Amino acid sequence: MRTRGKNRLREKLQSGQVVLGSVIYSWSPNVMEVAGYADLDFMRIDNEHAWRQDRSAEELMRAAELVGVEAVMRVDRDNPYLIRKALEIGAAGIIVPDIHNVEEAEAVVRAAKFPPRGTRGYSASCRSGRWGSEAAAGWIEWSDSEPMVGVMIEHVSVMDHVADVLAVEGLDFVLFGPSDYSMSLGLGKPSKEDEQVQEALKRTIAAARKSGKHVMLGVGTSLEEIRRYRDMGVTMLEVGNDLGILRSFWKERADAVRGG
């Protein structure tokens, strides 16, 4: 039987590398395989806006393991059972959106960890536990140390506490959400380049550096933008999403043909 390995995403970040990934909204295992063949480090499975709570999530995990890409799942907030379920099916990381303070970040970590650090319920009869075939102690230790725990910084109210949030023990990274942050400022639309949004991102990166944590950010597909945010200190670069990239390419070609 194949032994359980290290989280490659965690290993690369710990060695000082910048990791590159994308987002999967289609929930297609084939797209997950393509991500691995494209040498991406991770794929974020969106289960906040792309609604799925069925066996398709397990199929994505199997595809990710097949090609060596780490699957990170975003789940809805205020439901600790979704965190446990994502980890039980084999997610290499979880992300919970719309965190406003230390207490909420702490609750996410506690839901992801077994006692005494957390409150996660035990059962090794799941994909992650190899359906009970592994020694309990070894699987518990792996579960508490390898999957990555992340939350989203996406509301103006959290900025007064961002350093304390990043310092929470057991939290590995934050995903900065410029669109919802823009909305929380009252801008009325996503405004990633707005001075206030950029300043909040810089403060988040500074707090992450101080605590030895990481920042994930959606950076579009432009090489210039990717390099810009990499140089700013974003260590987890999220390049577009599967359906958005496909739509953009098709639209560009359609406009070119129709425009002569």
What's the one-letter identity of residue 191? S
Q: What is the pLDDT of residue 260?
A: 62
Q: How many residues does the chain have?
A: 260
Is the model's pLDDT at 42 over the cut of 80?
A: yes
What average pLDDT does range 132-157 have in this prediction?
A: 94
C-alpha dihedral sign at 187, 190, 194, 200: positive
Instruction: Determine the topology of domain 8-258 in CATH.
Output: TIM Barrel (3.20.20)
What average pLDDT does range 225-249 have in this prediction?
A: 95
Is the model's pLDDT at 259 over the cut of 90?
A: no
Using CA atoms in the order 34, 37, 38, 44, what is the torsion angle rounded to 10 degrees?
A: 50
CA gap 260, 253 in Å, rounded: 11
Q: What is the pLDDT of residue 80?
A: 84
pLDDT in tens, 86-124: 999 999 999 999 999 999 999 999 999 999 999 999 999
Residue bearing the bigger pLDDT, 184 or 54: 184
Q: Are 158 and 182 in contact (CB under 8 A)?
A: no
CA gap 179, 241 in Å, rounded: 15
Burial 43-56 (b: 16+ CB within 10 A, else e): bbbbbbeeeeeeee
Q: What is the pLDDT of residue 221?
A: 85
Is the model's pLDDT at 29 over the cut of 70?
A: yes
Residue ranges of alpha helices (H) inside the chain are 8-14, 29-37, 56-67, 80-88, 102-112, 136-145, 162-166, 178-184, 195-211, 223-232, 242-258
Q: What is the pLDDT of residue 3?
A: 47
Is the model's pLDDT at 69 over the cut of 90?
A: yes
Q: What is the pLDDT of residue 53?
A: 77
Q: In terms of Cα–Cα distance, which of 28, 89, 5 is closest to 241?
A: 28
Is the model's pLDDT at 79 over the cut of 70?
A: yes
Confidence of residue 49 (pLDDT cuts 50, 70, 90): confident
Q: Are 36 and 62 in contact (CB under 8 A)?
A: no
Residue ranges of alpha helices (H) inside 29-135 are 29-37, 56-67, 80-88, 102-112
Supply the pTM of this predicted model: 0.93
